[in-house]
Structure 1
């Protein structure tokens, strides 16, 4: 099996949520096969600990970018602090 390392970069959202719909919810998703939940993982940026509350006419922007990096990360060639840090 090929090892992959995913990098989540985010702006405006301090938290990350990792989830899987599991068997019952997967069956309710039209674009996910009944058994596909066994090989999937969803990673989202979020503001769960401290929700973002806007007053009238205020704006907020957030974004996320999910990418993969070389599997050399798994062999310790990349600094995990730099990979996990996201945007500086």
Structure 2
């Protein structure tokens, strides 16, 4: 879990020379996860060994819960896109980019 993440998160795939961009609104946090071997076997659309090359990055509201009273409304959105790796070159603040993923 990463708290207070930027509204734009880039996951750079150096091997395939592309970048996955997550844009989010209304959800201040992010979660990075992988199902590992046991849970991967329970997912019908994921092969038993696919977890080894799988990474999931989701927007979330973890630190501060979103609590609605009756008839109140809340909106959040998440947009995922794939761009060439050169797209994000120089556009992201390196202090705010989640590192450690390839």
TM over 0.5: yes
TM-score by length of 1: 0.80
Aligned residues: 81
In structure 1, what is the equivalent of residue 82 of structure 2? 68
What does residue 79 of structure 1 align with? 91
Greater fraction of residues in helix: 1
Query: Structure 1: which 4+ aligned runs deviate by more than 6 Å?
Result: none
Structure number with larger C-alpha Rg? 1
Question: What runs of 5+ residues in structure 2 fail to find an aligned partner?
Answer: 1-14, 98-102
Query: What's the TM-score once normalised by structure 2's chain length?
Result: 0.70
Q: What is the aligned-residue RMSD (CA, Å)? A: 2.0
Higher relative contact order structure (alpha carbons within 8 Å, sequence separation ≥ 6): 1
Decide which structure has greater strand share: 2
